[in-house]
Amino acid sequence: MLPARPYRPRDKAKVEVAVQIVERWILARLRNRSFDTLAAVDGAVVDLLENLNRRPFSGCPGRG
């Protein structure tokens, strides 16, 4: 994910929504799980993030 360009406030909302989607999507799947180590949490997040990145992008016509 790329940060919003400087002096372009129109980009900020799109970036914030993308971060919110990722947070909600990953946290919702980890909500009822318990982990013994930070490494286990990191591994679960990496797996979910890879899965999310494989999903087709449907925000704009002509993309993914």
Residue 35 in this model has a pLDDT that exceeds 80: yes
Residue 25: closest CA among 6, 50, 58: 50
In a domain, 47, yes or no: yes
In a domain, 59, yes or no: no
Predicted pLDDT at 52: 87
**Which residue type sits at 23?**
E
Residue 58 in this model has a pLDDT that exceeds 80: no
* Number of structural domains the chain divides into: 1
Predicted pLDDT at 2: 62
Q: What is the mean pLDDT of residues 10-14?
A: 75
Residue 26 in this model has a pLDDT that exceeds 70: yes
pLDDT top residue among 33 and 59: 33
In a domain, 15, yes or no: no
The pLDDT-based confidence of 8 (bands split at 50, 70, 90) is: low
In a domain, 30, yes or no: yes
Residue 53 · residue 39 · CB < 8 Å: no
Q: 30: domain range?
A: 24-52
In a domain, 13, yes or no: no
